[in-house]
Amino acid sequence: MAVTNLDSLELGGTLAVAGAQTVSGALAVSGASTLSTVLFKDLTEVVAATNVITAAESGSVFILNAATEFVSTLPAVAAGLHFTFIVGAAPVGASYTVVTNASANIIVGKSFPASGAAGDTGATDDTITFVDGAAVAGDMVEVWSDGTSWFAYGFPSVATGITFTTVS
């Protein structure tokens, strides 16, 4: 059976749908039903130069990957915004930094080194640094906002790989 205009459809058997489909409005499924796997993919961007991040990019994973390190600037805080930064290429000659907009000292952070050593912590900072000569590929930081602060959790290989500082 081919259906081209689906205002209402009641079936007693199986409905097979080929290709990508879009459902607008409410979808009600009753009875014993099996829905196939829905794939979810994080928004991912390989970044190789200065990056001014927008709130619309919330949920994105930024892979820091450049021969010349750079700054990533967070948007203004808003509840629910979150971003992940992962070192793709270890910093050489300079450090990758993630900074607040307007140099606001609103980063509260901790790092949890894989080495088991005590990591850096920060309470009123404006800069997260993936440190040149210490950070390696795979080191990462996640930041989450409650609308007032950025809460940052870093996962470096070594204690000195990620730092929290007040630069301004």
Q: What is the 3-state secondary structure (H, E, C) of the chain?
A: CCCCCCCCCCCCCCCCCCCCCCCCCCCCCCCCCCCCCCCCCCCEEEECCCEECCHHHCCCEEEECCCCCCEEECCCCCCCCEEEEEECCCCCCCCEEEECHHHCCCEEEEECCCCCCCCCEEEEECEEEECCCCCCCCCEEEEEECCCCEEEEEECCCHHHEEEECCC
Indicate the average pLDDT of the chain.
86
Question: Which pLDDT band, with edges at 50, 70 and 90, does 149 fall under?
Answer: very high
Name which of 149, 142, 113 is nearest 128 in CA terms.
142
First to last CA, the chain: 67
Least confident range of 1-15, 23-37, 149-163: 1-15
With 70 as the cut, is the pLDDT of residue 47 above it? yes
Residues 6+ apart with CB under 8 A from 27: none
Going by pLDDT thresholds of 50, 70 and 90, the confidence category of residue 122 is confident
pLDDT (0 to 100) of residue 16: 62
pLDDT at position 37: 62
Strand order of the β-sheet with 51-52 is 51-52, 71-73, 96-99, 127-130, 162-165
Residue with tokens 């259906």: 3
Cβ atoms of 55 and 78 closer than 8 Å: yes
| Span 44-165 CATH architecture | Sandwich (2.60)
Q: Which of 23-27, 44-48, 79-83, 121-125 has the lowest mean pLDDT?
A: 23-27
Structure confidence at residue 119 (pLDDT): 87
